[in-house]
């Protein structure tokens, strides 16, 4: 009999065996047929300095441009013959070595703006330079694929991420623990308030409350059943706790398709070393714990980390950097063929004439190509769907970063 | 007599500005016809009432008889013609009668008649006790006023009907002129000649003005009743749109926008002063005594301490039982909660929150010391002053200097963080026309602007750090060696820039009026900014006294309450005693709802749009915290009526009867100013029934919690 993936998994004696084999088999369809693919969009807010995270240790201009704040030569962790990893991201190294993690360098937006708020909006709406789109890229995807269920899209914050704002309903809550009605007379209050919020016509703000209330009550029971127990060790930071909840949501198999998470604090205009220490270890430890916690679900869960722009190549007068252009994106899980720093074309060098406007890293991979490949390869979006999710963008698979190949 | 049916239509459209009335030609004809006949009733009834005055002068009549059967007798023919007209134009078949604007001939006739008689009765008394007058001159005076008022009533009705005739302006002027002429020769005190229902009736001016308001009031009421129009009480009170009567919806709206919701003091003040004067008073917080809150704020010494003293008295060292640096932020947060809940200067507090948000800085352990003086010195004193002064104070402050790195910006080590946000967020905005070169140039202008905690506002200009070269920024040529004044010149430029004016106006309108700024108001507020050189008080006055703010129902209950507003309004609505508040716990709840006071990390501050504050998760948090607060378990001790007994409330003493209906109605009266929907009321009644019988402990608090969880309380 032909051994299909499914029969193989059913008959394999040890679950550990499949967990071991799956990442090695890598490439396509590395997840069991019954696991729905999930995308976790992790937004590093403030303009993360890709040059100091994935260091071009082989480029002398790097050290020349950053006499004070460069990652000291020799202290970077070897990634390949040219790039090194900032040692603050050490917990990511095993994931990289195991092929579960990849970086995309010189990734970013074609729009030259250096405004945080514009660039974050442009990226979350996948429409650089275009203010006429007000819905998010993940919301557009969910509108076609989410089945209309609010639980398909979750933002682990008080308020919905812009990437998930749109016609498709989605949920926003800072933690699973709080997502329930508490206090006295819970059953009675639930009964009457659920009915009341079913149809609210109080003023123009009433509609918003009615929708949010209805969503809340609908989701309450589903989320109450999510098992939060885990043996993975997360940092007790906001990101750690959010990813812990994210893992629980994914493993519960309740229909979650997209999760938006944030890590702020990357706008390092001053004191790069000290400020990086506040965020980079947290990022690495949280992602490592997340990946370990997912276990068998790791292959069906793709995490993309992104930022609105990288930072200027040369350091400024206050041991920091101003806003730049090209930066680094990160991909974890989802059965990618990791263990690489993906770069389109050769490294251009950091001499001023090779830089964008003489100051910043160029962008050789449009972030929308990363989105497109993730949507297509991981979330099985058709090319027609891609065209509407990424408006005004030419879908060209040869421009994809090739994370799975 | 020509008649334009559109006159009636215009009157209806004015009365129903937000409804789209679809009216067919037969319906328009019905309305127009009945307007005309209504006017004929007014005219005939006026003649009759005036005839009663003449008869009373001669003596021997019973005024009530004359005003009653006497006038009716005069009206007989007119009423017959009216009924015939109704039969022909409005009642012949179902298609003629409009959905709104006309009920039936009897209602119309009665209202028109009463208006006419009412004017005469208000001028000279329902019993005509002032007639006859002591002298012939006095009689002429009375006659001038009463005929003038009657003429004005007819003119108002004529104009409403779109019929050609005496214009209102003419009639008003004639009333004024005739009164002055006729009553100048009167020797008897005017007050005794008239029964006018106004406070001041001493001079001919008073008399004329009062007569005008009498005519207008009767017109509004009568015409409104005649045509089944809902005329707001403000117009029927004294005939003018002057907020003389403030409906509860408007009271709630004003107190929920100019502050954190109604409480006994603000409500009492609003009712005593009326809306305009209340707004005026809140726009001058320095005139409002706030002793109770000031006394309570004394427990937070860091609030008034200079920079250096803070470091001495709140050292960066943890000694159990002793104040430490982290307490500075805590005191500031607690003060903010306390002020929201208890201060009389509500508008000042809302504006301080608004402008802090606009010039947002984040409190961190190194910046704890700076954030309290930032609010005290850079923000609060300027919220109703000139934007230019506010901007200058912010840029000089160590708080902003540290947050956006300005204080480290020096000629040979430029930092562009602040200069970018100054242009993008604080003043002209991304569309204000600045370039990357401008961002850099602005940074160079502000080199040397650094901190010195020994000075009064923590600022010093260090010439050695300043870039002396000539600069070009936003079209402004700054010659070399400009020093500190370069920055001042740039601030003046930015503060007076039209883009700044528009952005400031827009943000204020979003906070106070509508999240979709009405174009007319945006223009008016922007113009006010530019015309006054950026006087924020003038801008606020334009906004708060605008028809969009005061009169448009679409802008009421149109924003979701932000967390601090929600918890503060809950404390205020339940009469929580400020001294009993656990301020820290309230602050924590507010943070868990998503509003970390002084803790928003990004320079733009918290978004002011309802969609931001409404997530599924936050709904459940809101319900949970409201329930905790309602039973006094969480930092707020509400003074709710006990299950049995009486207590003082917003509206006055109340007692609670036993049934769910009675309990809910009493609580609604307690907790809300404006009416709540039947759905909300029914929800609460259903809950009370589910919860338990009369006397079950907690029934009052839990039912109150359900009411406070209703949409009407979660919006403002």
Has residue A8 got a pLDDT over 70? no
Contacts of A323 in chain B (CB under 8 A): 420
pLDDT digits (tens, 9 = 90+) for B693-713: 777 788 888 999 999 999 999
Q: State residue B367's pLDDT score.
A: 67
pLDDT digits (tens, 9 = 90+) for B632-675: 887 777 777 554 333 444 433 344 557 889 889 889 988 999 98
Contacts of B698 in chain A (CB under 8 A): 184-185
Instruction: Please give the average per-residue pLDDT across A252-264, as a whole number.
Output: 95
Q: How far is CA B373 from the centre of its chain?
A: 31
- Picking from B514, B617, B712 by the largest number of A CB atoms within 10 A of its own CB, the best residue to mutate is B617
Q: How far is CA B704 from the centre of its chain?
A: 26
Has residue A219 got a pLDDT over 70? yes
How close is the nearest chain A Cα to the Cα of B436, in Å? Answer: 9
Has residue B327 got a pLDDT over 70? yes
Cα separation, A231 vs B150, in Å, equals 88
Q: State residue A363's pLDDT score.
A: 97
Q: What is the DSSP string of A91-146?
A: GGHHHHHTTSEEEEEEEE-S-----HHHHHHHHHTT-TT-TT--S-HHHHHHHHHS
What HEC string does A223-240 produce? HHCCCCCCCCCCCCCHHH
Higher pLDDT, B238 or A328: A328
Q: pLDDT-based confidence at A55, cuts 50/70/90?
A: very high
Q: State residue B604's pLDDT score.
A: 85
Instruction: Please give the average per-residue pLDDT across A309-333, as a whole number.
Output: 95
Decide the pairing of beta strands A38-44 and A301-307: parallel
- Contact between B501 and B528 (Cβ < 8 Å): no
Q: pLDDT-based confidence at B16, cuts 50/70/90?
A: very low
Instruction: Please give the average per-residue pLDDT across B340-346, as a whole number.
Output: 97
- B159: Cβ–Cβ under 8 A, 6 or more apart, which residues? B7, B165, B167, B168
Contact B614 A209 (CB under 8 A): yes
Contacts of B677 in chain A (CB under 8 A): 201-202
List the single residue in B610, B621, B710 with the smallest CB-CB distance to A196.
B710
Q: pLDDT-based confidence at B201, cuts 50/70/90?
A: confident
Instruction: Please give the average per-residue pLDDT across B17-41, as a whole number.
Output: 79
Cα separation, B372 vs B329, in Å, equals 7
Q: State residue B279's pLDDT score.
A: 95
The torsion of the CA quartet B343, B346, B352, B357, rounded to 10 degrees, works out to: 110
- Chain B's closest residue to A171, CA to CA, is B616
Q: State residue B653's pLDDT score.
A: 35
Q: Taking all residues of chain A, what is their mean pLDDT, rounded to a whole number?
A: 89
Decide the pairing of beta strands A340-342 and A101-108: parallel
Q: Taking all residues of chain B, what is their mean pLDDT, rounded to a whole number?
A: 88
Has residue B206 got a pLDDT over 60? yes
Report ipTM (2 d.p.).
0.78
Has residue A152 got a pLDDT over 70? yes
CA distances from B369 to B289, B325, B356, B645 (A): 28, 7, 16, 49
Instruction: Please give the average per-residue pLDDT across B266-278, as a whole number.
Output: 87
Has residue B567 got a pLDDT over 90? yes
Q: What is the DSSP string of B2-69?
A: -B-HHHHHHHHHHH-TTS-----HHHHHHHHHHHHHHHHHHHHHHHHHHHHHHHHHH----HHHIIII
pLDDT digits (tens, 9 = 90+) for B384-442: 999 999 999 999 999 888 888 777 788 887 888 889 999 998 999 988 889 999 999 99
Has residue A61 got a pLDDT over 50? yes
Q: State residue B631's pLDDT score.
A: 86
Has residue A50 got a pLDDT over 60? yes
Q: State residue B4's pLDDT score.
A: 42
Q: State residue A320's pLDDT score.
A: 94
Q: pLDDT-based confidence at A141, cuts 50/70/90?
A: very high
Q: State residue B12's pLDDT score.
A: 42
Give the tokens for residue A174.
């800072």
Has residue A162 got a pLDDT over 60? yes
Q: State residue B553's pLDDT score.
A: 86
Higher pLDDT, B3 or B168: B168
B511 C-beta neighbours (distance < 10 Å), count:
19
Weakest mean pLDDT among A136-150, B484-498, B526-540: A136-150
Has residue A190 got a pLDDT over 90? yes
Instruction: Please give the average per-residue pLDDT across B189-217, as a whole number.
Output: 90
Contact A204 B557 (CB under 8 A): yes
Q: Is B421 helix (H, G, I), strand (E, B) or coil?
A: helix
B646 C-beta neighbours (distance < 10 Å), count:
11
Contact A197 B619 (CB under 8 A): yes
Extract long-range pairs of B275-278: CB within 8 Å, 24+ residues apart.
B275/B243, B275/B246, B275/B250, B275/B550, B276/B242, B276/B243, B276/B545, B278/B254
A203–chain B Cβ distance below 8 A for any pair: yes
List the 554-583 stretch of B: residues with Cβ below 8 A of A: 554, 556-560
Cα separation, B594 vs B561, in Å, equals 12
Q: How far is CA A295 from the centre of its chain?
A: 18
Cα separation, B292 vs B269, in Å, equals 16
Contact B623 A193 (CB under 8 A): yes
List the 598-657 stretch of B: residues with Cβ below 8 A of A: 601-602, 604, 610-621, 623-624, 627-628, 631
Contacts of A116 in chain B (CB under 8 A): 602
Q: State residue A18's pLDDT score.
A: 35
List the 305-364 stretch of A: residues with Cβ below 8 A of B: 316-318, 320, 322-323
B488 C-beta neighbours (distance < 10 Å), count:
15
Has residue A131 got a pLDDT over 70? yes
Instruction: Please give the average per-residue pLDDT across A125-130, as a whole number.
Output: 92
- A308: Cα within 13 Å, side-chain hemisphere: 25
Has residue B238 got a pLDDT over 60? yes
Has residue B221 got a pLDDT over 80? yes
Q: pLDDT-based confidence at B583, cuts 50/70/90?
A: very high
List the single residue in B615, B680, B715 with the smallest CB-CB distance to A205.
B715
Give the tokens for residue B503.
């952005």
Contacts of A188 in chain B (CB under 8 A): 687, 690-691, 702
- Contact between A75 and A87 (Cβ < 8 Å): yes
Q: State residue B657's pLDDT score.
A: 52
Has residue A392 got a pLDDT over 80? yes
Higher pLDDT, B642 or B286: B286
Q: State residue B366's pLDDT score.
A: 62
List the single residue in A158, A165, A185 with the smallest CB-CB distance to B617.
A158
B513-531 burial: b if 16+ Cβ within 10 Å, else e:
bbbebbeebbebbbebbbe
Select from B221, B214, B148 the least CA-distant residue to B181. B148
Higher pLDDT, A367 or B644: A367
A201–chain B Cβ distance below 8 A for any pair: yes
Count of A-B CB contacts under 8 Å? 182
Has residue B624 got a pLDDT over 60? yes
Contacts of B559 in chain A (CB under 8 A): 205
Is the peptide bond prior to B638 cis by the omega test (within 30 degrees of 0)? no
Contacts of A173 in chain B (CB under 8 A): 615-618, 620
- Picking from B619, B627, B716 by the largest number of A CB atoms within 10 A of its own CB, the best residue to mutate is B619
Q: State residue A44's pLDDT score.
A: 98
Instruction: Please give the average per-residue pLDDT across B492-501, as a whole number.
Output: 97
Has residue B612 got a pLDDT over 50? yes
């Amino acid at each position: 009999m032909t051994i299909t993936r499914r029969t193989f998994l059913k008959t394999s004696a040890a679950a550990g065996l499949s967990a071991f084999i799956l990442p090695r088999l890598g490439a396509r369809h590395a997840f069991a047929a019954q696991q729905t693919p999930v995308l976790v969009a992790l937004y590093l807010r403030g303009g993360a300095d890709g040059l100091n995270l994935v260091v071009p240790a082989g480029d002398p201009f790097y050290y020349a441009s950053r006499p004070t704040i460069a990652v000291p030569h020799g202290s970077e962790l070897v990634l390949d013959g040219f790039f090194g990893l900032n040692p603050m991201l050490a917990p990511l190294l095993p994931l990289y070595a195991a092929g579960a993690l990849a970086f995309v360098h010189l990734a970013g937006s074609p729009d030259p703006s250096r405004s945080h708020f514009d660039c974050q909006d442009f990226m979350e709406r996948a429409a650089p330079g275009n203010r006429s789109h007000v819905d998010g890229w993940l919301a557009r995807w969910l509108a076609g694929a989410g089945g209309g269920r609010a639980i398909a899209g979750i933002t682990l914050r008080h308020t919905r991420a812009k990437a998930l704002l749109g016609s498709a309903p989605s949920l926003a809550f800072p933690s699973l623990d709080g997502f329930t009605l508490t206090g006295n007379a819970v059953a009675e209050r639930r009964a009457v308030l659920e009915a009341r919020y079913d149809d609210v016509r109080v003023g123009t703000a009433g509609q918003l409350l009615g929708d949010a209330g209805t969503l809340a009550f609908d989701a309450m029971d589903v989320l109450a059943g999510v098992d939060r127990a885990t043996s993975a060790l997360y940092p007790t930071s906001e990101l750690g706790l959010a990813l812990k909840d994210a893992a629980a949501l994914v493993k519960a198999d309740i229909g979650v398709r997209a999760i938006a998470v944030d890590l702020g604090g990357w706008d390092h205009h001053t004191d790069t070393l000290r400020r990086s220490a506040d965020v980079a270890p947290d990022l690495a430890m949280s992602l490592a714990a997340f990946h370990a916690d997912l276990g068998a679900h790791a292959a069906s869960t793709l995490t993309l980390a992104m930022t609105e722009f990288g930072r200027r190549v040369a350091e400024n007068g206050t041991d920091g950097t101003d806003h730049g252009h090209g930066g680094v994106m990160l991909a974890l899980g989802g059965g990618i063929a990791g263990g690489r720093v993906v770069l389109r074309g050769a490294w251009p060098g950091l001499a001023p004439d090779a830089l964008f406007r003489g100051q910043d890293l160029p962008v050789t991979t449009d972030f929308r190509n990363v989105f497109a490949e993730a949507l297509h390869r991981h979330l099985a979006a058709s090319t027609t769907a891609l065209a509407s999710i990424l408006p005004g963008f030419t879908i060209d698979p040869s421009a994809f970063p090739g994370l799975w190949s | 007599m020509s008649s334009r049916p559109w006159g009636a239509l215009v009157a209806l459209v004015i009365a129903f500005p937000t409804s789209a009335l679809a009216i067919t030609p037969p319906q328009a004809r019905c309305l127009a016809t009945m307007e005309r006949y209504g006017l004929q009733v007014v005219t005939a009834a006026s003649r009759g009432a005036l005839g009663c005055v003449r008869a009373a002068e001669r003596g021997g009549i019973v005024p009530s008889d004359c005003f009653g059967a006497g006038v009716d007798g005069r009206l007989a023919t007119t009423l017959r013609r009216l009924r015939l007209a109704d039969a022909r134009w409005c009642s012949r078949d179902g298609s003629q009668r409009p959905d709104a604007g006309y009920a039936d001939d009897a209602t119309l006739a009665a209202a028109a008649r009463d208006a006419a008689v009412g004017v005469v009765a208000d001028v000279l008394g329902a019993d005509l006790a002032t007639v006859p007058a002591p002298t012939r001159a006095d009689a002429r005076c009375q006659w001038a006023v009463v005929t003038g008022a009657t003429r004005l009533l007819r003119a108002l009705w004529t104009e409403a009907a779109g019929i050609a005739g005496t214009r209102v302006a003419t009639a008003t002027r004639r009333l004024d002129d005739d009164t002055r002429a006729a009553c100048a020769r009167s020797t008897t005190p005017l007050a005794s000649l008239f029964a006018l229902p106004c406070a001041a009736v001493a001079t001919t001016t008073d008399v004329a003005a009062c007569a005008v308001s009498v005519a207008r009031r009767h017109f509004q009421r009568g015409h409104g009743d005649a045509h089944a129009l809902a005329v707001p009480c403000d117009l029927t009170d004294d005939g003018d749109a002057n907020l003389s009567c403030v409906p509860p919806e408007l009271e709630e709206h004003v107190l929920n926008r100019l502050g954190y919701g109604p409480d006994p003091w603000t409500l009492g003040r609003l009712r005593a002063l009326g809306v305009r004067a209340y707004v005026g008073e809140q726009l001058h917080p320095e005139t409002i005594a706030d002793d109770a809150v000031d006394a309570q704020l004394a427990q937070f010494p860091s609030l008034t301490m200079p920079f250096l003293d803070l470091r001495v008295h709140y050292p960066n060292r943890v000694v159990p039982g002793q104040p430490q640096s982290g307490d500075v932020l805590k005191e500031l947060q607690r003060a903010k909660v306390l002020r929201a809940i208890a201060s009389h200067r509500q508008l000042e507090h809302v504006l301080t929150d608004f402008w802090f948000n606009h010039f947002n800085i984040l409190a961190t352990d190194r910046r704890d010391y700076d954030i309290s003086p930032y609010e005290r010195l850079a923000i609060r004193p300027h919220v109703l002053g000139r934007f230019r002064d506010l901007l200058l104070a912010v840029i000089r402050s160590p708080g902003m200097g540290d947050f956006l790195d300005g204080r480290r910006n020096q000629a040979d080590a430029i930092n562009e963080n602040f200069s970018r946000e100054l242009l993008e967020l604080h003043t002209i905005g991304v569309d204000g026309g600045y370039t990357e070169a401008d961002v850099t140039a602005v940074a160079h202008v502000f080199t040397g602007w650094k901190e010195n905690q020994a000075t009064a506002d923590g600022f010093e200009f260090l010439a050695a750090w300043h870039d002396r070269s000539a600069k070009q920024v936003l079209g402004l040529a700054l010659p070399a060696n400009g020093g500190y004044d370069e920055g001042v010149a740039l601030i003046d430029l930015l503060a007076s820039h039209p883009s700044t004016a528009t952005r400031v106006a827009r943000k204020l309108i979003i906070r106070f009026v509508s999240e979709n700024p009405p174009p007319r108001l945006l223009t008016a507020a922007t113009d006010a900014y530019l015309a006054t050189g950026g006087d924020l008080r003038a801008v606020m006055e334009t906004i708060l006294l605008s028809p969009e703010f005061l009169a448009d129902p679409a802008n009421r209950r149109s924003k979701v309450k932000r967390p601090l507003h929600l918890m503060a309004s809950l404390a205020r609505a339940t009469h929580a005693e400020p001294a009993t508040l656990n301020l820290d716990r309230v602050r924590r709840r507010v943070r868990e709802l998503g509003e970390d006071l002084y803790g928003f990390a990004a320079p733009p501050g918290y978004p002011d749009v309802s969609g931001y504050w409404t997530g599924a998760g936050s709904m459940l948090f809101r319900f949970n915290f409201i329930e905790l607060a309602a039973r006094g378990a969480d930092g707020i001790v509400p003074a709710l009526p006990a299950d049995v007994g009486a207590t003082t409330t917003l509206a006055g003493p109340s007692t609670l009867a036993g049934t769910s209906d009675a309990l809910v109605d009493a609580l609604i009266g307690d907790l809300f100013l404006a009416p709540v929907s039947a759905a909300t009321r029914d929800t609460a009644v259903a809950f009370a029934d589910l919860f338990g019988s009369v006397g079950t402990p907690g029934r009052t608090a839990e039912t109150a919690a359900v009411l406070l969880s209703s949409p009407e309380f979660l919006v403002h």
